Amino acid sequence: MADSFLQEQRQQHLDSQTGESGFALLNTGREAFLARAALIEVANHSIDAQYYIWNDDATGRYLAGRLLVAADRGVQVRLLLDDINLAGKEPLFARLDAHPNITVRVFNPVRARNGVSRLFALAANFDRINRRMHNKSFVVDGHAGIAGGRNIGDEYFDEDPLQNTRDRDILVLGPLADPLGDSFQAYWQDLWAYPLDQLHELSPGDLPEVLEQSVERPALRTRPPAGEEAARKYLDQTFAGVIQAPAELVFDPPPENPEGPASTPKATARALYRLANAAETEILIESAYLILTDEELNGTSGLGNPDVSVTAFTNSLATNDLLTNHSGYARWRKAMLASGIDLYELRPDSPACRQWIADGVACGPGGLSLHSKAVVFDRKTLFVGSFNVNLRSIYLNGETVFIIHSPELARAVADDIDYATGPENSWRVSLDENGDLRWHAGDLTVGHEPDVGLWRRFQSGFLSWLPIAKYL
């Protein structure tokens, strides 16, 4: 097998004597999109992509179209998608699956693909359906890859004109691309990974011209690398800045019995607990969805250690894209505060939006949401990937995370969290002398969830009484 460009980059930019991989933070959606687009252009042998969501929108179609072009030149492409958000998008992926060099599989599917029958099937298989493949990985030629919080879609890549997310990925070059590929392979060969053609029969309508048009005339504000030479130049500059560090990859393998009980913390959660218990002074949490119950706060997680400062940054009710998820957080918010955790909630008018989102057009009211997931320990170790610090990630979902022992990367993320939790960007939540919640931003203090109306506050409050936190 001939050397690939990525293998040459590995030899050029990494010190092979250390056995360490190189890492780069992808902090904006534009960076994350360009990195994926460029990796597709330089792929020589293989592309393995695993995603919880792949939208049929401008960026989703563009990347899918470039996968077709890569397959045309002989690259073997494997695409593994979770089924929970796939319904209605099958034609796009059937078009890919029809190519002899592309195979698409669907994890933990429901046989009924649409309508009321699908809703009934979801309800009838409640336990199994809640075991989702939330892992996100992208591995090219076995030498480089991306893992983190982002799905594939306009709102994750700064391309949605109305709604964009603050997110975070890690680009890896070197040895850890192998275990990232192993995590993909574990799900790819699982009994619950079904070939797409067993669920959706290819039809002439699955060959839309729009896919070809999205490659030739992409409707994007970002200009992707035009061909292999431009992609090589972009990646060479990016890889020149990677930070080598000792690291490990942890992933949750598929459940042996998806219908069985989910009462034990999974591998990624246990890795988080191990790091939390070893923390000496400080834990910084950045999590789109945050739920810690008494069991986690008072148990063996290490997150309720009174000798360690714990700061958590999450969505406010005004910025959370899922009202149900916020209600679970709201149910346990007082308990988290009482345990000593310092809570900060993202403001919808945060000026940080213009730093996080490459195109500030979506930084108006209602245009920003937090989707990133990272934990920093003592500003020396970074835990980053698809893992939200909530019960669903702890017990139900499959997740993938990097644990990187790099003060430089850890400090960079810690600095981001410090900035995000400033009063101009976040509300600091506290309990007053009567045990009531208060939200603070500079000299301003309010006694209810800020920046939202009474009806949304009522909905969240009502849902918070339901015992569904584990499924949010």
DSSP symbols for 29-82: HHHHHHHHHHHHHH-SSEEEEEES-B-SSHHHHHHHHHHHHHHHTT-EEEEEEE
Q: Is 362 left (phi over 0), alpha (psi -120 to 50) or beta?
A: alpha
**For residues 313 and 426, what is the distance between their CA atoms, to the nearest angstrom?**
8
Q: Could you confirm whether 134 is annotated as catalytic?
A: yes
- For the question of residue 373 being annotated catalytic, the response is yes
Q: Are 373 and 289 in contact (CB under 8 A)?
A: no
Catalytic residue status for 448: no
Please name the residues in contact with 252: beta carbons below 8 A apart, sequence gap of 6 or more. Answer: 135, 266, 267, 268, 397, 398, 399, 400
DSSP structure string for 129-166: HT--B---EEEETTTEEEEES--BSGGGTT--SS-EEE
Alpha carbons within 13 angstroms on the beta-carbon side of residue 466 total 15
Q: Amino acid identity of 54? A: W
* Of 143, 326, 371, 380, catalytic: 371
Query: How many whole angstroms separate alpha carbon 46 and alpha carbon 29?
Result: 24
Options 82, 97, 141, 416, the catalytic residue? 141
Show the tokens assigned to 414.
């810690």
Measured torsion, CA atoms of residues 62, 64, 65, 70, in degrees rounded to the nearest 10: 120
Cα separation, 450 vs 186, in Å, equals: 44
Among this protein's residues, is 378 annotated catalytic? yes
Residues 406 and 416: their CA atoms lie apart, in Å, by 16
Asked if 136 is an active-site residue, the reply is: yes
The residue annotated as part of the active site, out of 56, 57, 136, 451, is 136
Kindly give, in sequence order, each residue whose CB lies less than 8 Å from that of residue 143, ignoring residues fewer than 6 positions away.
Answer: 4, 6, 7, 9, 10, 173, 174, 177
Written as six digits, the tokens of 459 are 């909905």
Which one is catalytic: 82, 134, 158, 169?
A: 134
CA–CA gap between residue 316 and residue 370 (Å, rounded):
9
From the list 321, 342, 359, 378, the catalytic residue is 378
For residue 395, give both structure tokens: 């017990």
Q: Is 141 a catalytic residue?
A: yes
Pairing of strands 437-441, 309-315: unpaired
Question: Which position among 266, 326, 373, 380 bears the catalytic label?
Answer: 373
Q: Are 290 and 329 in contact (CB under 8 A)?
A: yes
Active site residues: 134, 136, 141, 371, 373, 378
